[in-house]
Amino acid sequence: MQNLRKEGFDIGTHRTRKLMETLNLEVKQRVAYKVTTKRKHSDAVADNLLNQNFNPLAPNQIWAGDVTYLQTGEGWMYLAVVMDLNSRRIVGWHIDKRMKTDLVMKAMIMAYNLRKPPKGLIFHSDRGSQYTSKRYRNLQRQFGIRTSMGDVGACWDNAVVERFFGSLKHDWLLKVAQPTRAHMKNDLAEYMKYYNLERLHSANNDQSPVEYENSLRKVSGWS
């Protein structure tokens, strides 16, 4: 609806419902949240510094990440993302057929290389073994990133990233067949471009993540 308004169409919720009825369209319910990561009890955990503060005042203050599963005709794949909570932009991601520590490390390295954030940035995740591992904690320490963790299975502690995964699956990947892992990777790359450059967010005053960040640059001079 926001996209149509942005293009100049006069449309509201009631009219949208009527059009959906005429076209025999219906909204599909998303599947329930499912835990993908579990902590090794020998690994250290961090305090919850985020405390459900999903709207930091500026970019590169709080990032959040998680891992989700994606099914193809050749088997499962796993996706790790890093999101800047200020604009909801995906600043780092990596996909692999194995859910190892390298998966989340490569997503974080991509994010760090793209943004070059100042020391003290908070990164929030669950307590999955990938995030609590010594290798990953050393990487964050090297980058000067402060670690924040919610509890395993508490999806509300990372609700914004969970909503991103829901949109990815139900608005994009599940609408077409995913016969191979290579096909999934290509389709996922296209979605990341669409999500960051075009998909509108109510939290961004109905702008895409990149549009919102560009508007911040004009106002605040952030770079």
Chain-centre distance for alpha carbon 53: 15
In a domain, 186, yes or no: yes
How does DSSP assign 137-164, residue by residue?
A: HHHHHHHTPEEEE--TT-GGGGHHHHHH
Written as tens digits, the pLDDT of the chain (223 aa) is: 454 454 454 555 655 556 556 655 555 544 444 445 554 555 678 999 888 788 999 999 999 999 999 999 999 999 999 999 999 999 999 999 999 999 999 999 999 999 999 999 999 999 999 999 999 999 999 999 999 998 766 667 889 999 999 999 999 998 999 999 999 999 999 999 999 999 999 999 999 999 999 999 888 766 6
Are 22 and 71 in a shared domain?
no
Range of the domain at 20: 1-30
Sign of CA dihedral 68, 70, 76, 81: negative
Q: Alpha-carbon distance 183 to 80, whole Å?
A: 17
Are 108 and 206 in a shared domain?
yes
In a domain, 178, yes or no: yes
β partners of residue 147: 123
Read off the pLDDT of residues 37-84 as tens digits, 9 standing for 90 and up: 554 555 678 999 888 788 999 999 999 999 999 999 999 999 999 999
Q: Alpha-carbon distance 32 to 70, whole Å?
A: 15
Q: E-assigned strands of 85-145?
A: 89-96, 122-125
CATH code (residue 95): 3.30.420.10
Amino acid letter, residue 197: L
Total structural domains in the chain?
A: 2
Are 127 and 22 in a shared domain?
no
